């Protein structure tokens, strides 16, 4: 039976130091070249992606142009806009690469709404980094001007943080299942999806972590494998120390123990680890992997990078 894979791309894999549209499109052209070997193996594929840098930059543009006649758009709408722009670039790059390799699969990009609880405690405690990095002094100044929260992010600088509620449901996930049944490659859940309230659907001011949203989607469409792509080939314990050890095949129990020991940084590797734990425990015969784009060439159903098994 053909296996279904949900593969999550990070927003920072799309945006380089150059934030122009041309640079991001070039980054995506390089990205899809790494995905082609997987498509040639005839898996059914859903591609999700982050948008943290992009939505943060769009919010800055909205604020800069805000006026009575041209008011800034809310955060949920900015999430939808970056889903559309990144999805457009990604689909275009993928179609061009498929034609180059004479692969006949169709591609569809869906602007995806994700149901969250409007009473989620995350709305009281912003944690999701978005936008560019600042120095401590710059962040303090912006925080005072905007009444926003800024935190240090992975040793790279200070970033604005917004609410990041947990996903409860994916609107229209059955449509994605139908497309996969017809061998359509689906791009969905961009930026963690647009956060919406349960019926009646209504946008909320938040950015959902793309790894948690991707995991929820993988559950709902009954995917077999969940791949989280990041900047390193393997998850490591003792990261950045003389005792650093890269993990290869690892069980849920082992990962849980490492998590309790504080081995994974919040806002960086921790949500990825938590997402793969959730997926592998969601049903029988589930498997998850955390690795880099470059390692996809070595992919087999037995695993690549850090492979998580029950």
Confidence class for position 128, pLDDT limits 50, 70, 90 = confident
pLDDT digits (tens, 9 = 90+) for 183-206: 999 999 999 999 999 889 999 989
Residue 216 annotated in active site = no
In-domain check, residue 142: no
Tokens at 113, concatenated: 């709404």
Tokens at 285, concatenated: 């015969």
pLDDT digits (tens, 9 = 90+) for 62-92: 888 888 999 989 889 999 999 999 999 999 9
Helices (H) and strands (E) in the chain, counts: 8, 17
| Set 160, 216, 272, 287: catalytic member | 272
Nearest 5°: phi and psi at 185? -80, 125
Residue 11 annotated in active site = yes
Question: H/E element holding 36?
Answer: helix 21-40
Contact 279, 215 (CB under 8 A): yes
Residue 12 annotated in active site = yes
Confidence class for position 13, pLDDT limits 50, 70, 90 = low
Residue 178 sits in a domain whose CATH number is: 3.40.1160.10
Report percent pLDDT > 90 for the chain.
Answer: 64
**What is the DSSP-derived secondary structure letter of residue 74?**
P
Confidence class for position 45, pLDDT limits 50, 70, 90 = very high
Higher pLDDT, 32 or 128: 32
- Is it the case that residue 5 has pLDDT exceeding 70? yes
Min mean pLDDT across 59-63, 103-107, 155-159, 203-207 is at 155-159
| Set 50, 51, 128, 190: catalytic member | 128
Confidence class for position 12, pLDDT limits 50, 70, 90 = low
Q: How many domains in the chain? A: 1
Confidence class for position 154, pLDDT limits 50, 70, 90 = low
Q: Quick one: average pLDDT of 139-148?
A: 74
Q: Find residue 236's DSSP bridge partners.
A: 246
Cis geometry, peptide bond prior to residue 200 (ω within 30 degrees of 0): yes
In-domain check, residue 32: yes
Q: Quick one: average pLDDT of 297-302?
A: 88
**What is the DSSP-derived secondary structure letter of residue 305?**
S
In-domain check, residue 59: yes
Domain that holds residue 251: 4-117+172-308
| Set 160, 210, 216, 286: catalytic member | 210
| Set 11, 190, 303, 305: catalytic member | 11
In-domain check, residue 81: yes
- Is it the case that residue 272 has pLDDT exceeding 90? yes
User: What confidence score (pLDDT) does residue 143 get?
Assistant: 76
In angstroms, the Cα distances linking 66 to 42, 51, 59, 239 are 47, 22, 10, 43
E strands, the chain, in order: 4-9, 44-49, 107-109, 113-115, 128-134, 149-152, 158-162, 169-170, 185-187, 194-197, 202-203, 225-230, 236-237, 245-246, 249-251, 287-292, 306-309
In-domain check, residue 178: yes
In-domain check, residue 145: no
In-domain check, residue 167: no
Nearest to 124 by CA among 94, 98, 156, 161: 161
In-domain check, residue 133: no
SS3 281: coil
Positive or negative, the Cα torsion across 10, 276, 83, 145? negative
């Amino acid at each position: 039976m053909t296996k279904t894979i949900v593969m999550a791309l990070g927003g920072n894999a799309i945006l380089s130091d150059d934030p122009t549209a041309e640079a991001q499109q070039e980054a995506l052209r390089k990205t899809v070249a790494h995905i082609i070997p997987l498509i040639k193996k005839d898996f059914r594929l859903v591609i999700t992606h982050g948008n943290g840098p992009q939505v943060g930059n769009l919010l800055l543009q909205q604020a800069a142009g805000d006026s009575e006649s041209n008011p800034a758009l809310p955060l949920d709408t900015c999430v939808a806009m970056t889903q559309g722009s990144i999805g457009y670039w990604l689909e275009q790059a993928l179609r061009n690469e498929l034609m180059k390799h004479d692969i006949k699969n169709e591609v569809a990009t869906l602007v995806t709404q994700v149901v969250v609880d409007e009473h989620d405690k995350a709305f009281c405690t912003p944690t999701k980094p978005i936008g560019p990095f600042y120095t401590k002094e710059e962040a303090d100044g912006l925080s005072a001007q905007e009444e926003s929260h800024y935190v240090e992010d992975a040793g790279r600088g200070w970033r604005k943080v917004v609410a990041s509620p947990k996903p409860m449901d994916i609107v229209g996930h059955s449509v994605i299942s139908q497309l996969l049944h017809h061998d359509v490659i689906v791009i969905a859940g961009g930026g963690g999806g647009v956060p919406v309230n349960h019926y009646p659907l209504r946008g909320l001011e938040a950015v959902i972590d793309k790894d948690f949203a991707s995991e929820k989607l993988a559950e709902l469409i009954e995917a077999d494998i969940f791949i989280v792509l990041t900047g390193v080939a393997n998850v490591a314990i003792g990261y950045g120390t003389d005792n650093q050890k890269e993990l290869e095949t690892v069980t849920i129990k082992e990962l849980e123990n490492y998590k309790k020991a504080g081995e994974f940084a919040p806002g960086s590797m921790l949500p990825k680890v938590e997402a793969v734990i959730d997926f592998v425990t969601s049903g029988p015969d589930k498997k998850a992997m955390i690795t880099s784009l470059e390692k996809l060439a070595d992919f087999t159903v037995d695993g690549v990078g850090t492979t998580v098994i029950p």
